Structure 1
């Protein structure tokens, strides 16, 4: 998941440099969504590990 975040972030940066505002904004939004999903899954994983111990 982190790889996808980095890929979309790089796409957003490159698109912003070349002036494609819509593409940059869309890629940045997708990267943010994937990042939030990653954080939620990380928290769930940490909580489940604490419960199993």
Structure 2
């Protein structure tokens, strides 16, 4: 199903900051627009997806 809405929880492993975002799943990837944590971390993240 193309364009399915997802709830995405992102937690930074460096500083512990948590972000809860909405995104759309398209072709197996979820796009939220998230670029980096407030501390500058861009790759060491815990990411969890669940359908809305």
Report the TM-score when normalising by structure 1: 0.23
Name the one with the larger strand percent: 2
Pick 1 or 2: higher relative contact order, CA cutoff 8 A, min separation 6.
Answer: 2
Report the TM-score when normalising by structure 2: 0.23
